[in-house]
Structure 1
């Protein structure tokens, strides 16, 4: 039977590994879905509408995962990282990534879905196609920004001194 001190030490050791795992899963999923899976769908499937539908469903799952990971990370940092400039920096980076998800998926995507649904026979009018393209471009730019900030978060997290982890 382990002593209480040993058990708490083991839990503290385990806790120090949770934050990097959350960040790695979050950033890894962003890059996998956005830059591997979605482009592959459009390259492999002959029907662009079907590829877009599947990609849209994947981005929906990714958006909810991003919200969950962001909230988990923010709570974890609050309780596991010593008060410091680096903790503030982790908050800012995770908050920026969360903001990208909220604006990109929950803000812009509903307008894109509305344009897609209003297309007669799956074909958008010229104006609708232009609006969709602009919204898609803005959402893509936010996704790219979130992906880059994710890499920065991954690197900055690794730079924490052992005493702050």
Structure 2
């Protein structure tokens, strides 16, 4: 299992963290700077963040299962396992808590744009919370890559 599992582990980790950094750091800012219509940019970015979240859920499940199979009970003593668990919790909070709330606020704002409506302040506050959680995930992902590459476990 280790000959196949370990490369798949690093592939899943790279895919998840790479998606977080690429979408949050390159794609979303580019959408908002390149498109005139901020609502279209927001809709596309929101869809991409959702895809990245589901990718994260799948990757996290694989990473957790692999670590437990690979190290048994010792996995629970590894910082890397707990970083993955924390990233998963943040992903799930965003996916099932904050994203539906933002969608509801957008729907309440209709037919106006959300930032031109009465729910603007609530939307901005929750969007800020979402952004902070995303940045924490990105930082944890970077720490996880460093932990795993420095650990010498191959």
Question: How does the TM-score come out when normalised to structure 1?
Answer: 0.85
Q: Which range moves more in the overlay, 135-144 or 18-27?
A: 18-27
Q: Does 1:18 align with 2:8?
A: yes
Q: Tell me which of 17, 29, 34 is aligned to 1:27.
A: 17
Partner of 2:38: 48
Deviation string 1:87-121 (CA, Å, 9 cap, x unpaired) is 53121000010011111222111111011011132
CA distance in 1, matches of 2:60, 2:8: 13
Q: Which range moves more in the overlay, 84-93 or 44-53?
A: 84-93
* Structure 1 position 81, deviation (Å): 3.3
Runs of 5+ unmatched residues, structure 2: none
CA distance in 2, matches of 1:35, 1:47: 20
* Structure 1 position 85, deviation (Å): 6.8
Question: How does the TM-score come out when normalised to structure 2?
Answer: 0.90
CA distance in 1, matches of 2:2, 2:92: 33
* Structure 1 position 17, deviation (Å): 1.7
CA distance in 1, matches of 2:36, 2:4: 47
Q: Does 1:145 align with 2:136?
A: yes
Q: Tell me which of 97, 113, 121 is aligned to 1:107.
A: 97
Question: What value does the CA root-mean-square deviation take over the aligned residues?
Answer: 1.9
CA distance in 2, matches of 1:76, 1:52: 35
Q: How many residues align?
A: 153
Q: Tell me which of 87, 92, 97 is aligned to 2:82.
A: 92
CA distance in 2, matches of 1:145, 1:16: 26
